[in-house]
Structure 1
């Protein structure tokens, strides 16, 4: 059975991302677009557009950027991040977005895998950036501000130079290359075309309706599809105002809501948890908030209701993944409240199937199985990895999400489980195999397996099961892993066992490990 959206299909313009985003730029050129939360520095919509044009021109004429060349942005949330992204896109380049938490090793791997020519960073990250760039053969490193060994980003916006018109094929040409672990293994470049992103923005407009006076707060990282589409693109497209946060601090988050009378919040479950339970919430006037959406990880029904009651605003959920550009399901603002625990209904122009995990047979409403999605926002594939692409998108164009869902008679989606072995820590995907390989580098470890365990703040957290070769403590192994991975990926607990359960073919039987945990 094929499930379809309850909403009629929409027209998806055959435009580049920047043509679509800046279509109405002249009508709100004087309006503030972005406000840097800590400093109050602002950029108007006109400044964002004009600076992006200068960046595009400089990259094309002075740096010889060619259509399809990759430009990496390794920065926290800043107003100028938006300028950089759209400047590269306008020039026909491809932006690969890197997490500010990347280690030198992880960043170098992404730069090399994506074949990045250029890298943009900030002074506090310059050491990691330069080392990774050198290892990956990056041509030039830019920096916001100044730092030794890097070219000031200001050089790209120094003077107006006539913009060369780049012909874009929206259906084929890439514009963004975020990295995702997908359903298995290490991170891979998700190839998003101009059409993918324009389609996603058009779908989001049907959900959000006419909210031209929204004041949003960008606490979500711009490197993630959630932040990239919701703020870097949609703020500009709709002529809205957005306050940016370069790093998350809960009290500053509350202060900024109060100071700027923020109306719209796009959040992840740990922040929703804090809104529901943290005593600091009572100190601030948050009455301006009219809309709260939670995504990137499942949000429990009880927590959803508790946060909504405290804030006086319904907390809604959506579902999606990088491989679908962002959202697969959601709920329109003008609709009645969602069913508790639901993540909305299928967005326009999309199709879905639910299949039996064992047989692959199609299932109907109220039956539990793996979700498959097809539509204009499904990625073109994984960059340079045909095998991984073929394992994720079948010959008929169905994206196999690896998530187990139930779609009820009203078309409401409920995410109930995951097939994939990835551990979802907030919006980050952590591959157990990566942590296992790090553990096995310790001389005292004979064998290891990692699974995700429930965690109130992060949704899930990695727990390791270790067979010892020599005496070693839990604290020593936790520290060993932490020294080699990003902070969100660190192991939170270690259990020592006599053997790791495995199948005859050597596959770790993680289900048996989960059965040993008493929650």
Structure 2
């Protein structure tokens, strides 16, 4: 029995991971058993896996056509890890704000090996967002791409009491100089000691407060998730030929697929260029990936640019990030090979990866069974458990559920019960076979183009404009949309508000759905916005053309 399984039987991917854990324990002179397996850390697993196949391709950078082997990656990562250790970096925090290139990969593995805790940042973050992150995390070292230098410099100047080392990691020779003098000998290298519940990294996630939080990712949770992408595969190692990763480092999908691909010996296809449908079409045509994932919106923009022949290498495509319609699924399935597994996956940062992926026999618009390393239940608004063939909010519990948000105990208590149940905020229907199907998002937050949008974060920026009394932000088909109440006599235009939002927030948080000026907004007796009524108001404003 695999040590992570709490319901049913282990699948082939979990049994393969058990074999890897056993081999690591035997190297250490420890007799393997389920209890000992549960103490092998992510850094130990990654180091062992990379060492096993030194000449295998680790990644292809489609932006430059460079090919990097496991050994090439590992030598530089080992030298950098030794440098960070010599600096006393273990247990301290680092920032990473980078695109997907080999230096990023070197740093990503090096900080994990050295026990440095990286906070992985969206490359296009604004100065406003970066300043918030810097104050939250207080990193001792910052790795960033040169194109983001101005934003990073401005953000650090806004926080002058922070003492941090800034490293433009993609600038030629910078990393080489930084690691100079540290050996790249792999055989003698040891990863930093850590416990299974120690933080490995921090990932940003938005919450009901509107300000991004830092989710604490641990060894125990990340290791439990390693087999999940390959749960319906049978060939190990290398269950698929080539994994295409399009998300950047701040996304759970990047972390999960990068680590899982490394352990299961799957070459990774990434690009240092900005991801556009045109570039991805080129990547698919040239490098023939077999496994990938898209947001529904990105898939829709990609389809007109590719032929069935170009997509013929794909064996598995997972749609993630936002709800998908049956029509969208059908349109994509029509262009994919008949043997391809197209599925609507479901996961969260708070579970450090997937909660469910549909099996091949699942209905088209279905999210599948909850994975066997998680307990789950469907509950009503009072938290009472419901049965099969009913609708309710999904709660899950298990080793992959996060143990906290960095410096935010209150937010964690709102999200996870005292008994350890993570309240997903999403309503599902559970059928007679216990497969889940997404119904609606219960939380205030919504996604646009696969990116998380926290209405209160945008509302805070709108209300910072002189003359604005109040605002509410809702989802629309075109993106975030706002209704704004002005103070009496205020001379505020749409352009003024758009300028404030655009200069402060990332592209996906901007008011693509438009904005409307209204005399008032609906409130509860305690003064809180009635968001359901606000959403109805926004629908009417959009319908009548007042929101533009």
Task: Please give the TM-score of this superposition, normalised by the length of structure 2.
Answer: 0.86
Cα deviation for residue 416 of structure 1 reads 0.9
Cα deviation for residue 5 of structure 1 reads 5.2
Q: 3-state SS of the aligned residue for 1:507?
A: coil
* Corresponding residue for residue 176 of structure 2: 154
* Corresponding residue for residue 479 of structure 1: 499
* Corresponding residue for residue 458 of structure 1: none
* Corresponding residue for residue 244 of structure 2: 217
* Corresponding residue for residue 488 of structure 1: 508
Given that 2:426 and 2:438 are in contact with CA atoms closer than 8 Å, whether structure 1 keeps it comes out as: yes
* Corresponding residue for residue 369 of structure 2: 345
Given that 1:22 and 1:236 are in contact with CA atoms closer than 8 Å, whether structure 2 keeps it comes out as: no
Query: Does 1:116 find its partner at 2:142?
Result: no
Given that 1:345 and 1:412 are in contact with CA atoms closer than 8 Å, whether structure 2 keeps it comes out as: yes
Of 424, 430, 433 in structure 2, the residue corresponding to residue 410 of structure 1 is: 433
Question: What pairs up with 1:94-133 in 2 under 5 angstroms?
Answer: 94-133=117-156
User: How far apart in 1 are the matches of 2:287 and 2:481?
Assistant: 40
Of 101, 104, 121 in structure 2, the residue corresponding to residue 81 of structure 1 is: 104
Of 60, 63, 77 in structure 2, the residue corresponding to residue 35 of structure 1 is: 60
Given that 1:501 and 1:512 are in contact with CA atoms closer than 8 Å, whether structure 2 keeps it comes out as: yes
Query: Closer, same or farther in 2 for the Cα pair 1:15/1:393, shift >3 Å?
Result: same
Given that 2:296 and 2:450 are in contact with CA atoms closer than 8 Å, whether structure 1 keeps it comes out as: no
Query: Does 1:497 find its partner at 2:515?
Result: no
Cα deviation for residue 42 of structure 1 reads 2.0
- Deviation track 1:179-209 (CA, whole Å, cap 9, x = no partner) reads 1114553111111111111111133343444
Cα deviation for residue 244 of structure 1 reads 1.1
User: How far apart in 1 are the matches of 2:360 and 2:146?
Assistant: 47
Question: What pairs up with 1:49-448 in 2 under 5 angstroms?
Answer: 49-61=74-86, 63-66=87-90, 68-136=91-159, 137-146=162-171, 152-161=174-183, 163=189, 165-170=191-196, 172-210=197-235, 211-230=238-257, 232-246=258-272, 247-276=274-303, 278=304, 280-282=305-307, 285-312=310-337, 313-331=340-358, 335-357=359-381, 359-448=382-471
Query: Closer, same or farther in 2 for the Cα pair 1:25/1:262, shift >3 Å?
Result: same
Query: Closer, same or farther in 2 for the Cα pair 1:284/1:252, shift >3 Å?
Result: farther
* Structure 1 unaligned blocks of 5 or more: 456-460
User: How far apart in 2 are the matches of 1:13 and 1:238?
Assistant: 18
Given that 2:281 and 2:302 are in contact with CA atoms closer than 8 Å, whether structure 1 keeps it comes out as: no
Cα deviation for residue 164 of structure 1 reads 5.6
Query: Closer, same or farther in 2 for the Cα pair 1:182/1:209, shift >3 Å?
Result: farther
Given that 1:121 and 1:144 are in contact with CA atoms closer than 8 Å, whether structure 2 keeps it comes out as: yes
Query: Does 1:462 find its partner at 2:480?
Result: yes
Instruction: Count residues in correspondence.
Output: 498
Given that 2:43 and 2:191 are in contact with CA atoms closer than 8 Å, whether structure 1 keeps it comes out as: no
User: How far apart in 1 are the matches of 2:169 and 2:386?
Assistant: 52
- Deviation track 1:55-89 (CA, whole Å, cap 9, x = no partner) reads 1101111x2213x2111110111122221111111
Q: 3-state SS of the aligned residue for 1:362?
A: coil
User: How far apart in 2 are the matches of 1:185 and 1:251?
Assistant: 33
Given that 1:319 and 1:330 are in contact with CA atoms closer than 8 Å, whether structure 2 keeps it comes out as: yes
Cα deviation for residue 163 of structure 1 reads 4.2
Cα deviation for residue 421 of structure 1 reads 0.5
- Deviation track 1:92-142 (CA, whole Å, cap 9, x = no partner) reads 111110001111121121122112111101111111122323444142011
Aligned-residue CA RMSD in angstroms?
A: 2.2
Q: 3-state SS of the aligned residue for 1:20?
A: helix
Query: Closer, same or farther in 2 for the Cα pair 1:142/1:498, shift >3 Å?
Result: same
* Structure 2 unaligned blocks of 5 or more: 1-5, 19-36, 544-548
